[in-house]
Amino acid sequence: MIDEDRVTALVPQGDGNSRTPHSRARAMRTLARAPAARCVSIQRSRDRDVVKNARVATPRATIVPRGFRPNARASSRAGVVLDRSRSTVVAKSSSSDEAPRLTRSKTFTETFMTGVDVRAALDAGFGSVALLGATALSLMLANSAASGVWASFWHAHIGPAALGLNMSLHHWTNEGLMALFFFAVGLEIKREFVHGSLKSIKQAALPCIGALGGMIVPMGVYLALNNPAMTASAVVAGWAIPMATDIAFAMGVYNFFKNKLPGGVAAFLLTLATVDDLGAIAVIAVCFAKSLTMSYIAGAAAATGALFLACKKEVTNMAVYAGLGVALWYCLLQGGINADVAGVIAAFAVPGNAPAPAGSDATPEHEGGEPTLLDHLVHKFAPLSALVIMPLFALANTGVPLDASMIGKVFTEPVGQGIMFGLLLGKPVGIAGLSWLAVKAKVGTLPNGMNNVHLLIVGLLGGIGFTMCLFLVEMALAGNAAAANTGKLAVLVSSTLAALIGAGCMARLPDRDAKLKTA
């Protein structure tokens, strides 16, 4: 017996009230010939069939360009059908002649004024703006009459001393909030491995090679300018500083000019920055460990084992991961290993294919799939990381005294030179150079539409170290306040220059739409 609903789904609509007998008969013949499995498939994808027919034969179907979304209330009233592909179809139901109202996606200013659409704010680069604003505020307060009060605020101690947690606000920010930041970074990395650009070895090969060059060459530049035979060991320890890339900031700059670049550039940059940060996290865990307390290290190992056991059993109760993650963080902190690594370990333990909680509004990373628990957590933690944690980290760590002599040290002191040339020169040379060699050696291939100019732009954006490099300054130069201040200022100057140079290069490129019109 043929289901009337499935016939209706296959019959193109005319004026909204009539259907031709020929089209109805053709639909019934199609269903009669289809196997049972196909019938079930048709029934399950009824919305997609309606969308397809709306595109082809429904006069009232409206093609909505990117950047526009149907008003939610009008959509439910007018029978809007949404397609998650590259365009959106709004199909008007036959029971009403009222056209659905369309509303434009919120601009940056509208988002800022209403404070409602957080995801649109991140896409508009609001996270980068918040980070820059926090940095400017910290520098201003550190060089004002309130500098003493500002410094005292961050050195105020809070927390239970009996548990060894009586730490300064500065320490809480670097050891506590940054663990959440690394949790958000770890979620992004795992999602790339499970569903994204790192899932395919062939697809990930070239950006991984570029990331390797983007770590090795800047470190070599730093060590060349900070010769261990001529420079204090406390300064030489900063060799890891220029190896990292700030994913959020680099992608924020890219988003301003993404209409000028092929789509493959975004995946290439994201993969490269992800591998960069993975390398930086490994360096933090291995190279900056203090004297170890083995009893706490054993506790950390037990917590890690429990986390991955929960992952294997596909436990989706986040209270389990939160409790074990806090236990892991505490054991690492007391055991002498940088506690922020706990965030990455906990993120890697989240099940990769477990379904998202009911009612989640997360967008799935993979085409045509349902949102996973990873998608849900990324959706929740990305705004927290970009709009709260990173600005607070900047407030706590960028209060550098500015005067003529301090600014001069960025260009004359070996530590400043090593960081600046490492980020501004070493990053683009390492990323673009090693990637180019890999392409020539047929080890990897560039994404479709991407050329050597785009590769150089990715290298420049890779030089935006900001948050990750500032964090490495805190780790590597903790015992030398003067060198740490010079290093922080060098990171700020070189990251800003890398962003401006990269933006300038992208601004000179023609729009993709213009190239298509002239082709």
pLDDT at 401: 85
In 3-state terms the chain splits into helix, strand, coil percentages (rounded to 5) of: 65, 5, 30
pLDDT digits (tens, 9 = 90+) for 318-358: 899 999 999 999 999 999 888 888 999 999 999 988 888 87
Q: Are residues 10 and 68 in the same domain?
A: yes
Total residues found in the chain within this entry: 519
Mean pLDDT for 405-434 is 93
Quote the CA–CA distance of 142 and 125 in Å, as a whole number: 26
Looking at the predicted structure, is the pLDDT value of residue 37 above 60? Answer: no
Enclosing H/E stretch for 64: strand 62-64
Structurally, how many domains does the chain consist of?
2
Quote the CA–CA distance of 65 and 300 in Å, as a whole number: 51
H helices present in 86-146, as ranges? 108-114, 118-123, 126-142
Q: Quick one: pLDDT band at residue 363, thresholds 50, 70, 90?
A: confident
CA atoms within a 13 Å half-sphere pointing along the CA-CB vector of 286: 7
Last residue of a domain, one of 56, 80, 104: 104
454 falls within a domain: yes
Which distant-in-sequence residues (6+ apart) come within 8 Å of 259 by Cβ?
Answer: 511, 512, 513
Quote the CA–CA distance of 288 and 332 in Å, as a whole number: 13
User: How many CB atoms within 10 Å of residue 146?
Assistant: 12
Mean pLDDT for 417-433 is 96
* DSSP-derived pairing of the beta strands 62-64 and 68-70: unpaired
Which distant-in-sequence residues (6+ apart) come within 8 Å of 168 by Cβ?
Answer: 154, 155, 156, 157
Looking at the predicted structure, is the pLDDT value of residue 513 above 80? Answer: no
Q: Are residues 145 and 248 in the same domain?
A: yes
Quote the CA–CA distance of 79 and 371 in Å, as a whole number: 24
User: How many CB atoms within 10 Å of residue 389?
Assistant: 22
In this prediction the pTM is: 0.68
Quote the CA–CA distance of 51 and 157 in Å, as a whole number: 60
The DSSP annotation for 443-481 comes to S--PPTT--HHHHHHHHHHHT--HHHHHHHHHHHTTT-H
Q: Are residues 123 and 94 in the same domain?
A: no
Looking at the predicted structure, is the pLDDT value of residue 211 above 90? Answer: yes
CATH number, domain with residue 227: 1.20.1530.10
31, burial (CB in 10 Å: exposed 0-12, middle 13-18, buried 19+): middle
Higher pLDDT, 505 or 93: 505
Quote the CA–CA distance of 68 and 51 in Å, as a whole number: 17
Give me the phi and psi of 278, to 5 degrees please: -60, -40
Mean pLDDT for 499-508 is 94
Q: Are residues 97 and 125 in the same domain?
A: no
Q: Are residues 85 and 149 in the same domain?
A: no
Least confident of 30-34, 100-104, 341-345, 391-395: 100-104
Last residue of a domain, one of 61, 77, 104: 104
Least confident of 74-83, 172-181, 285-294, 368-377: 74-83
313 falls within a domain: no
Q: Are residues 360 and 491 in the same domain?
A: yes
294 falls within a domain: no
Question: Is 331 in a helix, a strand, or coil?
Answer: helix
| Alpha carbon 51 to its chain's center | 32
193 falls within a domain: yes
Q: What is the mean pLDDT of the chain?
A: 77
CB burial of 398-420 (b: ≥16 within 10 Å; e: otherwise) equals: bbbeeeeebeebbeebbbbbbbb
Mean pLDDT for 128-132 is 86
pLDDT at 415: 92
221 falls within a domain: yes
Q: Are residues 159 and 82 in the same domain?
A: no
Last residue of a domain, one of 104, 125, 151: 104
303 falls within a domain: no
Which distant-in-sequence residues (6+ apart) come within 8 Å of 323 by Cβ?
Answer: none
Tokens linked to 293: 């307390």
The residue among 482, 474, 452 whose CA lies nearest residue 244 is 474
Yes or no: say if 502 and 457 are a contact pair by the CB < 8 Å rule: yes
Looking at the predicted structure, is the pLDDT value of residue 55 above 70? Answer: no
Look up residue 69 and give its amino acid: R
Higher pLDDT, 101 or 190: 190
Which residues sit opposite 335 in a β-bridge?
none
Q: Are residues 70 and 167 in the same domain?
A: no
332 falls within a domain: no
Quote the CA–CA distance of 241 and 118 in Å, as a whole number: 31
Residue 76: domain span: 4-31+39-104
Q: Are residues 359 and 427 in the same domain?
A: yes
pLDDT at 294: 92
308 falls within a domain: no
pLDDT digits (tens, 9 = 90+) for 233-284: 667 888 999 999 988 888 888 888 888 888 788 888 988 988 888 888 888 8
Looking at the predicted structure, is the pLDDT value of residue 51 above 50? Answer: no
Least confident of 62-76, 119-133, 314-328: 62-76
Look up residue 478 and give its amino acid: A
Q: Are residues 13 and 86 in the same domain?
A: yes
Q: Are residues 73 and 121 in the same domain?
A: no
Q: Are residues 202 and 281 in the same domain?
A: yes
